[in-house]
Structure formats: structure tokens, C-alpha cells
Structure 1
Amino acid sequence: MNEENKAVDAWGAGKTQFFYQLDPVSILKYIDQLGLKTTGRCLPLNSLENRVYEIEIDNPKAKTISENFVIAKFYRPGRWSKDQIKDEHQFLFDLQDAELPAIAPLRFDGESIFETDDGELFYCLFPKKGGRNPDEFNEDQLRQLGRLLGRLHLIGQKRKGQHRVELNIDNYGHQNLKSVLEDNHLPENYKESYESLVKQFITTITPLFKNLAIQRIHGDCHKGNILYNENDGFFFIDFDDFVRGPVVQDLWTIIPGRDDYAQRDKDTFLEAYELWNEFPYQQLRLIEPLRGLRTIHFDAWIGKRWADPSFETAFPHFKSDRYWAERMIDLRELISMCQLIPTDPYGGYGNY
């Protein structure tokens, strides 16, 4: 199997039941094995895809409250290969070396990736750093984020991240459509319409992705993965979904709106971005196509994880007619918008 296929398969082909065997005793044992001394306090944190815990440690050298804790992340089995996790950690180390505010994993004897005793789960540790998710970004904060993302993408160009998934039409369009249809969570009365609309959407956007420049990007750079505190300002977290893709993906997820206010915010953001990095303005026309691919990917992701009880709790309406009826409306709107986008990348990008 070539590396590209490995990356595609690793989005969700593996089993997930091994998470059910994680308990506080085994979690603390794995932390202690790295040479830390845990106190017995283990707090689960909010995470659907992985299992993440705040672990209290006995740290006589701690100068802050946060230094008495570490964050343990246990990766969902079957989602990422060890090589893909290495690429994630390398990206974070590259950002850390460039003094860009992103939380890199801790290293023990030069290693940052560890395995449970049965070899079924990879895990790693992060330092704890306090912060909050901003509700809105004011003009000054947009400029701060623009400069930071410009630097992040500049650093992202320096390595390929060869084992990571490529954000393209096949992986996020065709493969996810196949997954939705095969997982049988889509009500029978919507299957034909959903398949037809997704295929129409893919056909519409395919010419727009021709000769597209891709690189390492965050890939899931929404407000929930950007934290802020008064001492350090903004910092980025949660790079386990990082992909090779167009840089505009990280822009529109920070500023997802379509109205005039969002357009003004994009202009402010990009003005600051270009202080550090040249932005490919022709990629702005990909915002709605990328929004649609993310929507299809979201449907496939929930379907892949439905056997995990936490997903049914988090998305109780996923199998309802209402959920899929609203999805049909979303897809029709996206198709209509994408049909208006010029296929010439330099033919004007308007408010895209």
C-alpha cells in the first residue's frame, strides 16, 4: 500500500473499542512509566475523537499551578499511524523552535510518542497551559491572529508532512460520500437525494482545485482550537487533524461568516497576515467548496464513530429526518454558490 492510501485509510478504518478499556488506574500507570509521579487525580477533558485527561503530578519544582499538571492524550486507534503522529509532533516542534505559540508535546529521552502495554493505543503528554476560547475577535485580535497564522504557514512550508492526509476532492469528497452511504445511518428516503447532491457538488468544484498549491496547515483552525490568556496572548492547540492543504482552509474556519462584517474581518486579517507571508488571494474562491467538503466530512466522521456511545449522546439527531433534510438545504445552497465561482483563478474572487 502506498503512503497516500495509508493516510486515507487512517481517517477512520480502525476499531474503536479499545478506548473502553481505559480506566484511571491504567492511565496513571502509563504516566508513571514515563518517570513522572502522579498523585492519583485524573480528570477527563472534553474530547470526542481521542481521550484526553488532566493528570496531577507531584512536581516540587513547579513555579505555577499549571506545572503541577500534564495533559495526556490517547489517540483513537485506527485513525492515525505512528508516522502520521510523528508528522504532527514534528510540526509542533517546528513551531516551538520558531517561538510560535503552539503547545508541543513533552519529550522523554528524546521521544514524544508512547504505546500502551498491549500496543493498541498511542499516547503522548502535553504541558498544561490555561486559556479561554474567545467569543468574538476585535480588530486588534484579528491582526494578532493574522500575523500568527502568516508565521505558522511560513513554517509549514519548510517540511512536507508526507504521511498526513491531503485535503482534496477525493479524500474529503468521494471517500466521505462512500463512507456515508456504506455506514447506513442515512435514512433510506434521503439516500438518493444526498448522493445526487454530493456528486453534483463535487462535479461543480472539481475544476477549482486544479494545480492547487498545498502545504502543512492546521486544518481545523476554528475558535475552539485557539486559546487566549492575558499573559501570553493567543496560542494554537489540537493539531491532530493537521493536513496538507490550501492555506485558505485555516482562514475561513477562523472567520466562517459570509456577510459584510465577515468580509471586513477577512480584509483586516489578511492585511496583518501579509506582514509575514504572501497570501494566495486566488484561493479565496475555495472557501465555499472547502466549507462543503468539511460538511460532507463531518457527516462521514459521525457515521464512522457511531458505535462509540459518546457520539450518539453528542449528536442525538444524526439519524433523524430533520438532520438530513437540513443537510439537503445546505448542499443545495452550496451548489448554487459554487456555480457562481469563476474557474479562472485570476478572474476575480469577489466576496469568496
Structure 2
Amino acid sequence: MNNDETDEQSVASAAQPFYQLGPDKVMDAVESLGYLCDGRQFPLNSYENRVYQVGIEDGVPLIAKFYRPGRWSDEQILEEHQFSFELQDQELPVVAPIRDAEGRSLFEYENFRFALFPRKGGQGPELDNLDNLHLLGKLLGRMHAVGAVKPFVHRPVLNSQTFGHDAVATVSEFIPAELKLSYDSLVRDLLQAVDEVIAAAGPVAHIRVHGDCHAGNILWRDDNAHFVDLDDARMAPAVQDIWMLLSGSRDRQLAQLSEVVDGYDQFFEFQPRELKLVEALRSLRIIHHAAWLASRWEDPAFPMGFPWFNTVRYWSEHILELREQFAELSEPPLQVM
């Protein structure tokens, strides 16, 4: 192999870190742990990592998750796994990785790090159902009671620097020229407002949280829920996992919040002053999501999965959404009824 070929492969690997992860390699990785695959394999909805349902001879299918190279360190992944095990030990419905006979949960096959999970069926919960929200509040209260026992050491903290200021630096390179001045001015004012809201809230406890607790990461079946995908677990205010369950008009969100908190308080004390952070956290998530798409745009899976991204229309709507968030930051925060 000559140097030019090596350089071309390095560029391809950087742009598409999963380009060598074909079906055969997925099965070879699973079988390296002693399983016998039956040839059935289905990719599941995941972009940051690659996740597959893999059929097993004389057994139920397993879920194989291959971690995006360069995103998390081994220590950070194992810290997420350990959090899952702690939650599972407290009989919380969390889908934790499978451990081998030696207690290992993170494995490597030909430079790909991966983990195996049991398959859990279900669908997204109906968050318009207040009874469902009451149950989810109970589960989050139990989860946060475990999360507050000790901090993450290796995983990051959710803050306005990484989710806001650093994210804007990434996004700014993608903004069309005709919108750049408007965007730069808006996010400067918006992040200043976010920082002021966070400062005004005073000292807020940061605990281990799910970090991405939306309906897509909750499986619902037979009136029971299972939390999946703790890949974004980090240190954050407890309300980070709560506000993502709320939607609709203000009155509707107040009713939803009341149900969540009523269940939550049975297991962990909710801090009402954290509600001041909701719109600031929502603003940071919107900015960070755009930056995530921008930072992954060279991965061919992203233009195929998000064809609407990086168009003038997308950025115009993104700016409008940020303007609405800027207005929301000046509104009174939600209150528990």
C-alpha cells in the first residue's frame, strides 16, 4: 500500500468512522464474545453511534451498540455503564449492558468498541396522558436519588460553555452569509440572557442524570416504562430530565409538571427554583443540536438522515426558534401548582 492510499483511507475514516463496519464485522464482533449469530441483522435508529438488532441461534436477539470513535473515552463509557448497573441494582427499569463472566461490559473488535444489551420491546409513551407522567415522575425521582449519591468523575457537566458558546462557534461556520450577521447578533444576546438566568438561579446541585430523557428514549409496554440509551448521561441539574417531558401550552405544561413532581417527590425532593433554568436549558439544547448536526455533517449518514439540514430554510427557521426562546427567557418560569 502506498502513502497516497494510506492518506485516502485516513480521510475516509475521519469523515465516516463507521465505513468499515459492515454486517459481517458486526456479527464477527458479537460472535467474538461466544454467541452464535443466525444471520438476521437489523440496523436501529441511531446516528451518533451504530446500533443493530442481531439474531442469536437458539436465543433471543441482542442489541449491539458500536460507539462512535473519538467521542467518549473508555473511562467515560464505563462510567455510564456503572450508572446503569447502579440503577438496575435498585430495580429501576433501565436497559443496562450485558456483562460477561468476568464482569466486563465494554468490548473491542478490530478497533471498534461495542457493548451488548438485552432487547426490550415497546413504544414511546403517551406524554399527553397525565397518569403516564405521574409514573415517569416516580421513576425519575428514584433515578435521581441514585444519581445524587456520588458524582461522575470522567463524564462532562452540562453548562452554557460547552452546550452554548462552544456550540455556536461550530454552527457559525455553517450559517449562510446572508443570515450570519443576524445569527451572530442573536446568539450573542441569547447566550448572555442564558448566562444571566443561570447566575440568577444561584447555586444549583448537579447530579448524575439521564441527560437525554425524551420520549424516544423511553420504551412503554403494558403500563410500564424502560429507560434506554444513557449515552448522554452527565452531571446536570435534576430538572434537565424533567423539562423534556413537558410540551404544549403553558397551562398544559403546568398540569404536566404537577403530575411529574407529585410522583417525583415521593422518592427525591424536587427543587422548585430549578424551574428558573428550564428555558435556559431548552435554549442550550436547541443550539447544541444544530452544532451536533454541523459537527457530524461529513459523516455520509447525516446528509441522508437529515436532508433538510444546512439549507437556507433550515437556518432561517432555526433563527426564528432562537428568537422565540429569547422571548421565553424573559417570561416568568413555570411553577408547581
TM-score w.r.t. length of structure 2? 0.91
Out of 91, 100, 119, the position equivalent to 1:99 is 91
User: After superposition, where does 1:1-352 map in structure 2 within 5 Å?
Assistant: 15-59=14-58, 62=59, 68-108=60-100, 109-117=102-110, 119=111, 121-181=112-172, 184-210=173-199, 211-230=203-222, 233-341=224-332, 350=335
Runs of 5+ consecutive residues of structure 1 not aligned to the other structure? 1-13, 63-67, 342-347
Q: How far is the alpha carbon of 1:140 from its aligned partner?
A: 1.8
Superposed CA offset, 1:173-228 (max 9, x none): 111011112xx322111122212211111111213323222110011000011111
| Contact 1:218 1:242 (C-alpha < 8 Å) held by counterparts | yes
Q: How far is the alpha carbon of 1:122 from its aligned partner?
A: 1.2
Matched residue type, 1:107: R
State how far apart, in whole Å, the 2-side matches of 1:175 and 1:75 are.
23
Q: How far is the alpha carbon of 1:257 from its aligned partner?
A: 3.1
**Secondary structure at the counterpart of residue 123 of structure 1:** strand
| Contact 1:292 1:334 (C-alpha < 8 Å) held by counterparts | yes
**Secondary structure at the counterpart of residue 254 of structure 1:** coil
| Contact 1:282 1:349 (C-alpha < 8 Å) held by counterparts | no
Q: How far is the alpha carbon of 1:350 from its aligned partner?
A: 4.3
| Contact 2:272 2:336 (C-alpha < 8 Å) held by counterparts | no
| Contact 2:258 2:336 (C-alpha < 8 Å) held by counterparts | no
Which position in structure 2 is the counterpart of 1:344?
A: none
Matched residue type, 1:310: A
**Secondary structure at the counterpart of residue 96 of structure 2:** coil
What count of residue pairs does the alignment treat as equivalent? Answer: 321
Superposed CA offset, 1:90-110 (max 9, x none): 110010000000000001121
| Contact 1:51 1:74 (C-alpha < 8 Å) held by counterparts | yes
Superposed CA offset, 1:219-264 (max 9, x none): 100001111111x711100100111101111111111334211211
Query: Closer, same or farther in 2 for the Cα pair 1:56/1:104, shift >3 Å?
Result: same
Percent identity over paired residues: 42
Query: Closer, same or farther in 2 for the Cα pair 1:242/1:110, shift >3 Å?
Result: same
Query: Closer, same or farther in 2 for the Cα pair 1:219/1:280, shift >3 Å?
Result: same
**Secondary structure at the counterpart of residue 69 of structure 2:** coil
Superposed CA offset, 1:267-303 (max 9, x none): 1110111011100110111111111100000110000
| Contact 1:216 1:245 (C-alpha < 8 Å) held by counterparts | yes
Query: Closer, same or farther in 2 for the Cα pair 1:49/1:70, shift >3 Å?
Result: same
| Contact 2:127 2:133 (C-alpha < 8 Å) held by counterparts | no
State how far apart, in whole Å, the 2-side matches of 1:151 and 1:136 are.
19
State how far apart, in whole Å, the 2-side matches of 1:199 and 1:213 are.
27
Matched residue type, 2:114: Y
- With 252-261 and 93-102 compared, the bigger mean Cα shift is at 252-261
Query: Closer, same or farther in 2 for the Cα pair 1:257/1:167, shift >3 Å?
Result: farther
Superposed CA offset, 1:40-74 (max 9, x none): 21111111111101111123xx5xxxxx1100000
Superposed CA offset, 1:130-175 (max 9, x none): 1111243422211111100000011111221121121101111111
**Secondary structure at the counterpart of residue 21 of structure 1:** coil
Query: Closer, same or farther in 2 for the Cα pair 1:240/1:134, shift >3 Å?
Result: same
State how far apart, in whole Å, the 1-side matches of 2:150 and 2:23 are.
37
Matched residue type, 2:47: L
State how far apart, in whole Å, the 1-side matches of 2:335 and 2:117 are.
42
Which position in structure 2 is the counterpart of 1:4?
A: none
Q: How far is the alpha carbon of 1:351 from its aligned partner?
A: 7.9
Q: How far is the alpha carbon of 1:349 from its aligned partner?
A: 5.2
Runs of 5+ consecutive residues of structure 2 not aligned to the other structure? 1-12
Matched residue type, 1:161: F
**Secondary structure at the counterpart of residue 18 of structure 2:** helix
Q: How far is the alpha carbon of 1:340 from its aligned partner?
A: 3.8
**Secondary structure at the counterpart of residue 79 of structure 2:** helix
| Contact 1:16 1:78 (C-alpha < 8 Å) held by counterparts | no
| Contact 1:15 1:78 (C-alpha < 8 Å) held by counterparts | no
**Secondary structure at the counterpart of residue 134 of structure 2:** helix
